Amino acid sequence: LDAALLRPGRFDRQIYIPVPDIKGRASIFRVHLAKLKTTLDKVELSRKLAALTPGFSGADVANVCNEAALVAARDAGNEIIFKNFEQAIERVVAGMEKKSQVLQPEEKKVVAFHEAGHAITGWFLKHADPLLKVSIIPRGKGLGYAQYLPREQYLYSTEQLLDRMCMMLGGRVSEEIFFGRVTTGAQDDLQKITEMAYSQIVKFGMSKKVGPLSFTEGSNFQKPYSETTAELIDQEVRNLVDTAYKRTHELLESKKPQIETVAERLLQNEIISREDLIELLGPRPFAEKQTYEEFVAGTGGLDEDITLPKGLESWNKSVNLEDNSETKVS
């Protein structure tokens, strides 16, 4: 909207509507599940799906339900089962499976070790997101992908951000360790890492050398700082990424047997689940939340509070009374 429309007296109350939290997603899932054919308990199902879909918008939730119905129909199922919802979430997150895209054996091996590198790095770093599934079946633009369960949090420390960067670097570092070279497969990872590193230095003031400053991009793409500061920022970003790279390299060098084990299972089965990883690696050495009940613990109840303020509890009743009185008069 034009700034003139937002002046006082025109739009005094501006309401920001973020994506729903886990309780909000559960409520939205219940609405869309109501019309679907399934013998699953829909309240319990809505909570499970809400826990698996952090960051999803209301439209994403609707899309998951529609996709699950389509998957069940393609499989000639009489009803929608939980596996159909899991497949639908994968489609929304990572895109459609490309079963027709055949990888050469050498490429497939590289992808397997790349994804195993991500999996092992995340498994042994405290602040990495819990891993749900790893696949080397091409989806969307990627040749493989790892599905995580990100925590819904609003504040991040430098330690948490560093672990996330290391997890993203795990694929490229694994390629370097096992093949002595790197491929173009890590392009998306590197782009995300670069953006994250610049955000820490430029926006969040997490560099001691640059200081507690936060810069926003100026008009016409002009940097709101001097060339000297720009050089310092670039150097700090490089230092941050180098630190994450060295840390990841040290971790994966010490976990080479585990990477090989996971990569071999991937080459054999193409998809491995969290349960497979526990079998291969043992339980993850850090406490983590997995269920809806664990995520909402301490938030005042299992479901979203949708009670109206006292002054609005009967607002629609008065409208109904007026409508009824008008009907009688006529």
Predicted confidence at residue 219, as pLDDT, reads 60
Predicted confidence at residue 322, as pLDDT, reads 53
Which is nearest to 115 in space by CA: 254, 316, 267, 326?
267
Query: Could you list the mean pLDDT of each consecutive 10-residue stretch along the chain, which spans 330 residues?
Result: 80 84 94 94 95 93 96 92 94 82 87 95 93 88 84 89 96 96 91 95 93 79 82 95 97 97 95 93 88 85 82 67 52
Residues 250 and 171 in one domain: yes
Q: Which of 69, 94, 119 is the last residue of a domain?
A: 94
Residues 171 and 26 in one domain: no
Q: Which domain holds residue 27?
A: 3-94
Residues 186 and 206 in one domain: yes
Residues 176 and 275 in one domain: yes
Rounded to whole angstroms, how far apart are CA atoms 169 and 254?
16
Residues 111 and 219 in one domain: yes
Residue 319 in any domain: the answer is: no
Report residue 40 as tokens.
Answer: 């699953």
Contact (Cβ atoms closer than 8 angstroms) between residue 215 and residue 254: no
Residues 18 and 164 in one domain: no
Rounded to whole angstroms, how far apart are CA atoms 284 and 123?
6
Phi, psi of 223 (to 5 degrees): -75, 135
Positions annotated as catalytic residues are 115
Residues 11 and 121 in one domain: no
Cα 55 from chain centre: 6
Locus of tokens 């509507």: 17
Predicted confidence at residue 224, as pLDDT, reads 81
Residues 76 and 214 in one domain: no
Residue 328 in any domain: the answer is: no
